[in-house]
Amino acid sequence: MKKLLPILIAIILTAAPVFAKQKDGYLDEVILEESATISEPSEASPETESDIPQEKTLREKLSDVYHLEVDKYDKPTYLFQDILTKKFDEESPMESLQLWGGYNGDIGVYMNEDASSNSQYDFNTINVGLDGKLKNNNADFRIMFNYAPLSSRNVIQNLFADMYIATNKIPHHRVLIGHSRPPVGMEGGYGPFVLPFIARSQISRNFGTVRKLGARVSGDYSLIDYDLGVYSSDTYFQEFFPGTEFIGWVNLKPLAKTDGKYGSLKIGGGLDAGNRSNSFCVAGAYIGYEYKRFMANFEWANADGYNGPSGFSTDKHASGFYATLGYMLTKKLQILARYDEFDPDKNIAHNNQREYSLGLNYFIKGQGLRLILNYVFCQNDAAKDSHRILVGTQILL
């Protein structure tokens, strides 16, 4: 697995010269330092070479990456975005194409490990993607491949990840058609490159973090945002439309009009319901709060059958919740703590699984280059307890 990271970087760097051939004047997308204002030449003064804005050399762009400072951690930062993005001229309907790659993985140390006590503890992600944008916000698309092997699915099923086309043409709305990660839970709908811990919560690992083929519309207003979609109940191209599935999530933002004076509060809830030989339903609720360097969130979910990454289950009535606290000790160093409890089958007594997690994140370049240290104590009512120390890294090119 670890050998794939150098290969990924080599692939990206090999493609860099192609995407580095930009049109003159391309300085408007990722500008890391202020440039001097260039006045337009008058008719009486012919344009000279010094009047034409010069594109930065590859060495200058790499220097910008080296000096890059990132203060936001709620979205991915691609270190080579300036290098691996091609801008098109005015005559083309295309605005840009961006090639990118991402790696998130761990070197796990497991003590007193009972493999049967916990599943889905494989946290290595290797993605390569191509993002395209059309002019005038008409549409955008993503083609993304997942190169992390998984024994439960074949190569083709695991390879094709995000593959969609979308538009933001409608104000405050985004309409998307294709293969994407729907919001089965708040954390379950997050991509891997913005997670606070290496591991997702147990409700996310069992109910969410899965991709599906369908159509969805999301809206974002000052006091409310939502994501509603209809999908095939298949997962990872294993069956051809075995049934229909509805997935929706709504968040209220009651402090949005206070300009951050009292922090940011998000209260949400959602539903995942459908049919795949039998019906299933997952309901969830979420509360998240951020104020300056402090963050806290709580999420609960209850399933009467579910259709998650571990497979389809109609005979299990499961539930769980987690609570996370985090604090930025400095602009780059974050400390985290989480309590996570999961009942895999409420019809069976004394089988709960609890995880107590402590974490450190060191954001060298925001989410673009990040070091991760997690300790997890797994307490199991029906199996042997275990300890995990996870040392991870994340790099986005």
Query: Domain limits at 235?
Result: 4-33+49-106+115-318
Tell whether 338 is covered by a domain: no
Return the pLDDT at 50: 54
Return the pLDDT at 46: 52
pLDDT one-digit tens code per residue, 84-123: 999 999 899 999 999 999 999 887 666 665 544 444 555 6
Return the pLDDT at 53: 61
Tell whether 397 is covered by a domain: no
315 Cβ contact list (under 8 Å, min separation 6)? 305
Residue 351 amino acid letter: N
Return the pLDDT at 49: 52
Query: Which positions of the chain have pLDDT values less than 70?
Result: 1-53, 108-123, 149-152, 311, 314
SS3 197: coil
Tell whether 381 is covered by a domain: no
pLDDT one-digit tens code per residue, 150-183: 666 777 778 889 999 999 999 999 999 999 999 9
Return the pLDDT at 27: 29
- Total of domains in the chain: 1
Return the pLDDT at 48: 52
Residue 392 amino acid letter: G
Return the pLDDT at 13: 47
CA 199, 201, 207, 210: dihedral to nearest 10 degrees? -30
How buried is 3 (Cβ within 10 angstroms: 0-12 exposed, 13-18 middle, 19+ buried)? exposed
Global pTM reads 0.82
Return the pLDDT at 71: 84
Q: What angle is formed at CA 281 by the lines to CA 279 and CA 285, rounded to 5 degrees? A: 175
Tell whether 362 is covered by a domain: no
Residue 57 is classified by DSSP as P
Asked whether 125 and 146 are in contact (CB, 8 A), the reply is yes
Give me the residue label for tokens 């293969």.
179
Return the pLDDT at 116: 40
Tell whether 273 is covered by a domain: yes
Tell whether 375 is covered by a domain: no
